Amino acid sequence: MKNKAIKKYVLWGVFVVVMLVGFLWPLPNYIEGPGDASNLSKIVKIQNHPDKRKGMFMLTSVSIAQARPFTYLYAKLNPHYSVESDDSVTAGQNMIEYDKVQHFYMESSINEAIYTAYKHANQPVKRTYNGIYILNIERQSKFYHALRVGDVVVKVDGHHFKSSTGFVNYVKHQRVGQKLTVTYRRNGHSHQVTKRLIQIAGHRPGIGITLTDDVKVKPKVPIKVDPGQVGGPSGGLMFSLQIYSQLTNRNLRHGQKVAGTGTIDADGNVGEIGGIDKKVIAAKRNGAKVFLAPYLKPTKLILKYEPGHQTNYQLAKQTAKKYAPNMKVIPVATFDQAVSALSKE
């Protein structure tokens, strides 16, 4: 009896250890799957412009979590989930840097959405360009130990430009190995550093950073947008539609749940994003009847090097056909196209 009891306890101990390892042991991968589809009327508040229309615009997201042995196995067996490498998700950044970048992406997408929506609604709005926001720094960059993710570059060699395009064009016309002085802002304080340019893609000179514009907008009609913990730039299109519909009181939803995704820029262009198949599933689970998907016609060069290339729209359409046949997927390349398409629904 004693030996049986010991054996029983040993087996239970092994079982507990296996379960703990299976659920808690971190792997060098991430699991991506369908996230949420949030009601944007709960996120966007505009003074004296409530959302009283039936239906809703939905902000779709992708869930991301570090892989564990059991979740890794689940993701391999479930078609709606995928296993991604650490580099493909965080680009080699630590989680503090990654979260900071995702927060900025969201803040930037909200600003561009506000500007686009107010402009199309003929409401006064001011757009201010502050500089370049650093999203990533290559390890081989001479500026690697001087600049940080989150710094805002305001000048190079004393020159201030009105967009990141001006910065990029200035730098690429310099020489590899040439010294460049960068003036940047960190935590509200201005700093300056001088280092040499390195050779980047295309054998041209560069600082060795990934960047985006740091833009702030100030509309005349006050607005508050609180996305919670959701990060990234892909909500731009849906934010702009929600804001525009509240400002104009146009009935774009016709009582339906309308989901979608895509970035938005100051000119109202819609950009492609990642994980759209998972966002279609999230939309379907939350009852969406319409899904707006970015459509960017692939160039001949892209098709040459990626013969099986799929646009966001094609992948969304394919996913919906298989898993959400009653959902209508609409391709959009601009904000105006999205408004026009919804007006006809």
**DSSP per-residue codes, 89-150:** HHTT--HHHHHHHHHHHHHHHHHHHHHHHHHHTT--EEEEEEEEEEEEE-TT-TTTTT--TT
CA nearest 112: which of 93, 120, 53?
120
How far apart are the C-alpha atoms of 244 and 53, rounded to whole Å? Answer: 13
Q: What's the pLDDT score for residue 89? A: 79
Q: Which of 36-45, 193-202, 280-289 has the lowest mean pLDDT?
A: 193-202
Confidence label for 201 from pLDDT (cuts 50, 70 and 90): confident
Q: Is 231 left (phi over 0), alpha (psi -120 to 50) or beta?
A: beta
Those residues with Cβ within 8 angstroms of residue 250's Cβ, 6 or more apart along the chain or in another chain: 244, 339, 343
Q: Which of 85-94, 123-132, 335-344 has the lowest mean pLDDT?
A: 85-94
Q: What is the mean pLDDT of residues 310-333?
A: 96
Q: Which residue has the higher pLDDT, 245 or 136?
A: 245
8 Å CB contact between 80 and 278: yes
Q: Does 257 score more than 80 pLDDT?
A: yes
Q: Which residue has the higher pLDDT, 316 or 95?
A: 316
Q: What's the pLDDT score for residue 49? A: 96
Average pLDDT of the chain, as a whole number:
90
Which two tokens mark 18? 């296996």
Q: What's the pLDDT score for residue 3? A: 67
Q: Does 19 score more than 80 pLDDT?
A: no
CA nearest 273: which of 304, 232, 314, 305?
232
> Is beta strand 56-66 parallel, antiparallel or unpaired with respect to 257-260?
parallel
pLDDT by residue (tens digit) across 66-116? 999 889 898 999 999 999 988 777 777 777 778 888 888 898 899 999 999
Catalytic center residues: 234, 279
Q: What is the mean pLDDT of residues 237-258?
A: 96
Q: Which residue has the higher pLDDT, 279 or 69?
A: 279
Q: What's the pLDDT score for residue 307? A: 80
For the whole model, what pTM was predicted?
Answer: 0.85
Q: What's the pLDDT score for residue 96? A: 78
Q: What is the mean pLDDT of residues 223-233?
A: 89
* Run of H or E including 247: helix 236-248
Rounded percentage of the chain residues whose pLDDT exceeds 70: 96
Q: What is the mean pLDDT of residues 273-290?
A: 96
Q: What's the pLDDT score for residue 2? A: 60
How far apart are the C-alpha atoms of 163 and 61, rounded to whole Å? Answer: 29
Q: What's the pLDDT score for residue 56? A: 96
The CA-based angle 163-239-320, given to 5 degrees, is 115
Q: What is the mean pLDDT of residues 297-325?
A: 89
Q: Does 341 score more than 70 pLDDT?
A: yes
For the four alpha carbons of 24, 26, 27 and 33, in that order, the dihedral sign comes to positive
DSSP letter, residue 342: H
Q: What's the pLDDT score for residue 300? A: 80
Q: What is the mean pLDDT of residues 204-227?
A: 92
Q: What is the mean pLDDT of residues 253-278?
A: 94
Q: What's the pLDDT score for residue 150? A: 87
Q: What is the mean pLDDT of residues 257-279?
A: 94
Q: Which residue has the higher pLDDT, 244 or 228?
A: 244
How far apart are the C-alpha atoms of 42 and 58, rounded to whole Å? Answer: 10
Q: Does 1 score more than 60 pLDDT?
A: no
Whole-number Cα distances in Å, 144 to 43, 110, 140, 180, 250 = 37, 29, 7, 14, 49
Residue 12, number of CB atoms within 10 A of its CB: 10
Q: Does 202 score more than 80 pLDDT?
A: no
What is the 3-state composition of the chain as percent helix, strand, coil, each rounded to the nearest 5? 35, 30, 35
